Amino acid sequence: MSVTAAKGFRAAGVWAAIKGSGKPDLALIVSDHPASAAGIFSVNRFRGTDVELDVARLKATGGRMTAIVATSGYANTLTGAAGRRDAVAIGRAAARLLKIPEREILVSSTGAIGFRLPVPRIVRGLRKAVRVLAATKEAGQAAARGIMTTDTHPKLAETTFTCGGDVLTVGGIAKGVGMISPKMATTLVFITTDARIAPGALRGALVASCADTLNAITVDGQMSTNDSVIVLANGAASRRPLSGQGCGKFRGALHEVCGSLARQLVADGEGATRMIRVTVAGARTPREAEVAARAVADSALVKTMFYGRQPNWGRIAQALGACGVRFDPGRVAVRVGGLPAIRRGLLIKSPFEIYSRLAESEVPVEIELGAGRARASILTCDLSERYVRINAGYLS
């Protein structure tokens, strides 16, 4: 049920005529009463107008929100003061329809950059969405479809945990299968929980949960302008605020949902046929481990190699050697699909068995630099002709 699995949340997904396809392009998520809220957002210098508005509102309210409005088709980015007025107008219309304060509305958009949002159509869509708001599984799925752009299917996740006799739920939806290489956020991700937790603790849990999940994925090495991960916690199933062990259980549940959504995003990467988990160990610092892992994960040569299922390990070596991280090539060892590929700086001839390993749905690439004890892992996907076709015709 995703965002509607937690008690006290309703959702809707409708067509607001932003897209000409007739497919859902507006999502609405509403808590029955004000909730603790936290978000992490794109650090792109050209980040979206909606992102700036949401950051300001979270700060102004001390992290108290009631609803999220999200649209797909156009990203409200590079639209200047007019774009901000559009975002405010959408939030104001939602607040009026829901009969809640305007400051308790978060607004998100996704799609082609540089186009203003069709506010009148979106307002009409909001009227429709408010009429069909529901706490059902179908409503949560509709909301997930309402934020899709080039996704081939909706991304949904949920889990439960117990605390002090309360059964608590965390559920989420996500979109985004291109322009994925986040830093403190990825695409659009909306998470709800009926646990009771203060905004500061909620943000801490979100940052920790995203660190090795939503912040450790890449599809094409490109950071979006509108990346947003937002969580609402309304406490509807909690008799008391989370503390101690309860906070730990909540973090585990939130991490599980973030991890599931992250994997779903990469698995549905534009044109992707398989996932690749790049793990770098033996780096001098965690930062250098991440830089090395991302260099391999983002390499178009490496990604097309995996699409073609060819054991051309020199591509991994060149990506590592050019990433700027210090190591002794003579100490480097690489394993692909569990089989040795490079040892002591020398290429290892792969057995015929490697071809079946490269055909698996997820292929591990394990790299030992021999320079220290730090490690990092990045989940990526291969790069196919379909990725080029999708992005070459994105505005058509």
Active-site residue, 380 included: no
Instruction: Considering the candidates 71, 149, 159, 186, report the single residue annotated as catalytic.
Output: 186
Report how far apart the first and last C-alpha atoms of the chain are (Å, whole number). 34
Measured CA angle at 374 (ends 372, 379), to 5 deg: 135
Q: Would you call 78 exposed, middle or buried from its count of C-beta atoms within 10 A (0-12, 13-18, 19+)? A: middle
Q: How far apart are CA 44 and CA 180, in angstroms?
A: 12
Q: Which residues are catalytic?
A: 186
